[in-house]
Amino acid sequence: MSISEENLPYKEKIELKSWPNSTDIDSYRKMHGKSLENIEEHWANVAKELDWFKPWDKVLVADPQPPFYKWFVGGKLNASYLAVDRHANTWRRNKLAIIWEGEPTDSSGNPLEVRKLTYYDLYREVNRLAYAIRSKLGLRKGDTVTIYLPMIPELPILMLALARLGVIFSVVFSGFSAQALADRVMDAKSKVIFTADAFWRRGKVVRLKEVVDEALKGIQFVEKVVVFRRMGLKDTPMVNGRDIWWDELLSDVPMNTYVKPEEIESEHPLYILYTSGTTGKPKGIVHDTGGYMTLLHATMKWVFDIKDTDVYWCTADIGWVTGHSYIVFGPLMEGVTEVMYEGAPDYPTPDRWWRIVERYGVTILYTSPTAIRTFMRYGDDWVKGHDFSTIRILHSVGEPINPEAWKWAWKWLGRGSVPFGSTWWMTETGGILISHAPGLALIPLKPGTNGLPLPGIDADVVDDEGKPVQGKRGYLVIKKPWPGMLMTIWGDPNRYIQVYWSRFPGMYYAGDWAIKDEDGYIWVLGRADEVIKVSGHRLGTYEIESALVSHKAVAESAVVGVPDPVRGEVPVAFVVLKSGVNPSQELVKELRNWVRTAIGPIAEPANIVFVSKLPKTRSGKIMRRLLKQVLMKQPLGDTTTLEDETSIDEAKKAYEELA
């Protein structure tokens, strides 16, 4: 039997009749089609809803030539003004902006540290910090700095203070190693670093400042390191003349300090952010100001249906693009009350997140497949009995969500009744491009799909020749520029052209493998370079993984292809079992048969390797390329983004024992 599209688990459709904006898919398609007739007009109408100091002269300019695009040229605005001043000067002044929870709890699981900041608090803190940064550190518009901070309110405050001055920042995730930090500091040529003494993670003290010192050993050009006292550790090493305490920087800055926001050109870079490094060396993605804020405004409304009554929680870390766009700039621009949490999802118990949802009455939850699969592995007892009645919208991001994981989250967190989508986007796209849009018009849900491209987004799936294909796997492309798109790769414009615009002429190449089904829904199946070819058939590793995850014994799985003299390539599956399940030869047989029945004989894994964890990026994405290198006995390449080195050693050992 050969694999056919019929075998894909894409037939289930769920209509939410109770949702106020549900619509038939034809009306949505019409609206989408109309938006593409004139994308400039479409996006200008969205951009008008932001506050501009000066309106733009031209909506879209290719400068100096495609694929270098500039949005809203001639327009001036300020992201910090949009996120704080706009609210601090209205009735939202006393509305809560951020509810922050630190990780430590008392013996009954209640948080020991909670901070609540209103929009007026935020406004004051942003202004004071901006003043200190300008007057004491001498930073000016166009300078670059690196931020290496944990999930504390000072992180968004700092990003907004820098945006106020037009200082370009690069946030490095606080879980990164000294080497990864050093690489990023050097690439961005930052003269100033912002960090903290330490923070809590899974009950342990993570000493951040010491990592900075290690990273800066070989770097001469860093002039200042500003250190926030998150833990107040007494023995934090400070380098004389270079290091300053954050509180000392602010000590003589009056509470009512006001710094007029710079009038920033729309195309001025807001930040640089390095991609997750799932597939190789991370790229320094550069985002503009005007286009980026426009896309965030649109998606906060369309995808999250954001209202003043919401309590919004995006569980990502601000160190990733999801946090930049959907914890800092998007929600705060909309005047949202949002939750921010410092620590690990399962600390001290696997229901930590659900207690947070209950405590603050979270209404919108934006999370990831890796988190959902982790909670599934702990079993239903940890979700049972928690109150999810406040949740009205769920969304996922980061990786394809296996239908099984979707169903689990929808049943428990979504009570089988709320809109739940898998929002597709990348660091490069700035914001969500393919998604369900319950704030605009909700089309039927399908477990695991990404849904339809948002209005103004010309996304499509094409074959090797660049011709559109439907009902067949192909490559995800975007055929027209969109606001929020990356401007370039920092310091490497040729790599920008080569990576994104060279595969198919005139189209943005996402590097993802996808299928467009008969309704036009897009299903991103994983990375284009992770596809395996068995006896001439191309298989997405994710489809085999999803089949495995749908087996009751399996929590997570990663599939990679290895060369086979007869069949070209064969799949090998790494499998993490659910808590309490033991590996056995019978189970191997059962799982191989399971895949055979679910997808077809060619998908049957040649080997099943049981492990206790999978190699993942620090943002929780499975790093299949490392597993492949283990199987091929090749050098691992760039592993700075790998969360846990022991996962690779374990995979190696388990595989060798099989052979």
Does 549 bind ligand ATP (CB under 6 A)? Our answer is no
Considering only residues 606 through 625, tell me which ones interact with ligand ATP, judged by CB under 6 A: 621
Q: Which is nearer to ligand ATP, 146 or 423 (CB)?
A: 423
Q: Output DSSP code: residue 530.
A: G
* Stretch of residues binding ligand ATP (CB under 6 A), selected from 74-82, 124-132, 393-401, 462-470: 393-401
Q: How far is the CB of 293 from ligand ATP (least distance, A)?
A: 19
Given 317, 399, 556, 604, the residue binding ligand ATP (CB under 6 A): 399
Q: How far is the CB of 374 from Mg ion (least distance, A)?
A: 22
Asked if 557 contacts 549 with a C-beta cutoff of 8 angstroms, the reply is yes
In sequence order, which ranges of 254-364 are alpha helices (DSSP H)?
290-302, 321-323, 330-333, 352-360
Q: Strand, coil or helix: what is 513?
A: strand
518: phi then psi, degrees, rounded to nearest 5: -65, -20
Given 67, 282, 431, 439, the residue binding ligand ATP (CB under 6 A): 282
* Stretch of residues binding ligand ATP (CB under 6 A), selected from 239-247, 334-342, 354-362, 391-399: 391-399
Given 80, 105, 144, 275, the residue binding ligand ATP (CB under 6 A): 275
Asked if 296 contacts 245 with a C-beta cutoff of 8 angstroms, the reply is no
Q: Which is nearer to ligand ATP, 315 or 422 (CB)?
A: 422
* Stretch of residues binding ligand ATP (CB under 6 A), selected from 87-95, 352-360, 477-485, 508-516: 508-516
Q: Which is nearer to ligand ATP, 127 or 640 (CB)?
A: 640
Per-residue tokens: 240: 């004389």
Q: Which is nearer to ligand ATP, 129 or 614 (CB)?
A: 614
CA atoms within 13 A on the CB side of 38: 5
Peptide bond before residue 348 is cis, with ω within 30 degrees of 0? yes
Q: Which is nearer to Mg ion, 35 or 275 (CB)?
A: 275
Asked if 73 contacts 56 with a C-beta cutoff of 8 angstroms, the reply is yes
# residues contacting ligand ATP (CB under 6 A): 25
CA distance 618 to 595: 29
Given 127, 294, 315, 423, the residue binding ligand ATP (CB under 6 A): 423
Given 398, 403, 484, 615, the residue binding ligand ATP (CB under 6 A): 398
Does 640 bind ligand ATP (CB under 6 A)? Our answer is no
* Stretch of residues binding ligand ATP (CB under 6 A), selected from 99-107, 229-237, 396-404, 594-602: 396-404
Peptide bond before residue 64 is cis, with ω within 30 degrees of 0? yes
Q: How far is the CB of 192 from ligand ATP (least distance, A)?
A: 25
User: To which residue do tokens 């860093």 refer?
Assistant: 222
Does 319 bind ligand ATP (CB under 6 A)? Our answer is no
Give Cβ neighbours of residue 74 (< 8 Å, ≥ 6 apart).
54, 55, 56, 57, 58, 266
Q: How far is the CB of 38 from ligand ATP (least distance, A)?
A: 28
How many DSSP H helices and E strands does the chain contain?
20, 32
Q: How far is the CB of 616 from ligand ATP (least distance, A)?
A: 11
* Stretch of residues binding ligand ATP (CB under 6 A), selected from 272-280, 332-340, 436-444, 570-578: 272-280
Q: Which is nearer to ligand ATP, 290 or 400 (CB)?
A: 400
Q: Which is nearer to Mg ion, 275 or 546 (CB)?
A: 275
What is the contact mask toward ligand ATP in residues 80 to 119, using x (rule: CB under 6 A)? ----------------------------------------
Given 35, 170, 195, 450, the residue binding ligand ATP (CB under 6 A): 450
Give Cβ neighbours of residue 404 (< 8 Å, ≥ 6 apart).
376, 546, 549, 550
List residues bridging with 285 in a β-sheet. 273, 489
* Stretch of residues binding ligand ATP (CB under 6 A), selected from 273-281, 291-299, 340-348, 377-385: 273-281
Q: Which is nearer to ligand ATP, 337 or 370 (CB)?
A: 370
- Strands 568-577 and 607-610 come out as parallel
Torsion angle defined by CA atoms of residues 275, 169, 396 and 417, in that order, rounded to the nearest 10 degrees: -170
Task: Give the total residue count for the chain.
Answer: 659
Asked if 428 contacts 295 with a C-beta cutoff of 8 angstroms, the reply is no
Does 527 bind ligand ATP (CB under 6 A)? Our answer is yes
Dihedral sign for Cα 68, 74, 80, 84, please. Answer: negative
Determine how many CB atoms are found less than 10 A away from the CB of residue 578: 15
CA distances from residue 391 to 283, 345, 402 in whole angstroms, order as listed: 36, 18, 21
510: phi then psi, degrees, rounded to nearest 5: -80, -20
CA distance 79 to 15: 38
Q: How far is the CB of 514 from ligand ATP (least distance, A)?
A: 8
Does 427 bind ligand ATP (CB under 6 A)? Our answer is yes
Q: Strand, coil or helix: what is 634?
A: coil
Q: Which is nearer to ligand ATP, 261 or 439 (CB)?
A: 439
* Stretch of residues binding ligand ATP (CB under 6 A), selected from 121-129, 144-152, 422-430, 457-465: 422-430
- Residues in contact with Mg ion by CB under 5 A are 275
- The 3-class SS string of 177-227 reads CHHHHHHHHHHHCCCEEEEECCEEECCEEECHHHHHHHHHHHCCCCCEEEE
* Stretch of residues binding ligand ATP (CB under 6 A), selected from 178-186, 279-287, 335-343, 490-498: 279-287
Q: Strand, coil or helix: what is 171?
A: strand
Q: Which is nearer to ligand ATP, 104 or 511 (CB)?
A: 511
Considering only residues 172 through 211, tell me which ones interact with ligand ATP, judged by CB under 6 A: none
Q: How far is the CB of 554 from ligand ATP (least distance, A)?
A: 20
Dihedral sign for Cα 81, 82, 83, 87, please. Answer: positive
- Interface residues toward ligand ATP, by CB under 6 A: 275-280, 282, 320-321, 397-400, 422-424, 426-427, 450, 510-512, 524, 527, 621
